[in-house]
Amino acid sequence: MQTPFEKPSSGPSRVIFYGVTGSGKSSAARAYALASGLPEYSADDDVGWLPGWQQPSTEAQRKVAQGIAAQDRWVLDSAYGVWRDLVVSRADLIVGLDYPRWLSLSRLIRRSVRRVVTRQPVCNGNVETLARLLAKDSNIAWHFRSFKRKRRVIRELHTDPNMPAVLVFRRPRDLEAWLEQVARDGRGVGRP
């Protein structure tokens, strides 16, 4: 039975947002979940990070991801490589954010600096610090290590005929227009 807060959904019921670090996956997934009435899950909060910046074992991450994937309705804001196969195989739609490096990197730096200054808790209460921002395993360093691979994955997903529907956005304004259309339609469907 549908609650008064849920919008009817005859569109995709399992949606993954995928892109490079700093591309805005979480914000886009949140907006899509709100517009479509689908429950939202966070790769960082729900699967990938524990308090104290500890990462669960691969087996533990895969178990949680499998639990999310097994549900009938969800929006996921990313898919880590060690469990991506579990959620992609169940997805109805993959939304790729394939933005230029300068854009995603500038967004990432602004977000990270803001979090350091405000001490805003992120993923399970963890807080970004200046030391963490400058560390070899920081989000910024990860952006440089993973950028080409993540873009390649988006393109492989997009061209693979065995994949679910894949929408690729190369400009934030196109994504925003699509999300506005999804909100107007109220069904989690829209045309890019």
Query: In this structure, is residue 3 part of a structural domain?
Result: no
Both tokens assigned to 46: 């729900």
pLDDT exceeds 50 at position 174 = yes
Both tokens assigned to 14: 């399992």
Q: Which residue has the tokens 């963890």?
A: 126
CATH number of the domain enclosing 78 = 3.40.50.300
Q: Determine the structural domain holding residue 45 and report its residue range.
A: 14-184
Distances (CA, A) of 152 to 17, 19, 55, 63, 97: 15, 10, 25, 26, 12
Query: Which backbone phi and psi does 62 adopt, to 5 degrees?
Result: -65, -35
**What is the domain count for the chain?**
1
Q: How far apart are CA 141 and CA 82, in angstroms?
A: 19
Query: In this structure, is residue 5 part of a structural domain?
Result: no
Q: Which residue has the tokens 């400058």?
A: 134
pLDDT of 169 reads 97
Query: In this structure, is residue 6 part of a structural domain?
Result: no
Query: In this structure, is residue 53 part of a structural domain?
Result: yes
Query: In this structure, is residue 151 part of a structural domain?
Result: yes
Query: In this structure, is residue 75 part of a structural domain?
Result: yes
Residue pLDDT, tens place only, 154-171: 999 999 999 999 999 999
Residue pLDDT, tens place only, 84-141: 999 999 999 999 999 999 999 999 999 999 999 999 898 888 889 898 888 888 889 9
Query: In this structure, is residue 189 part of a structural domain?
Result: no
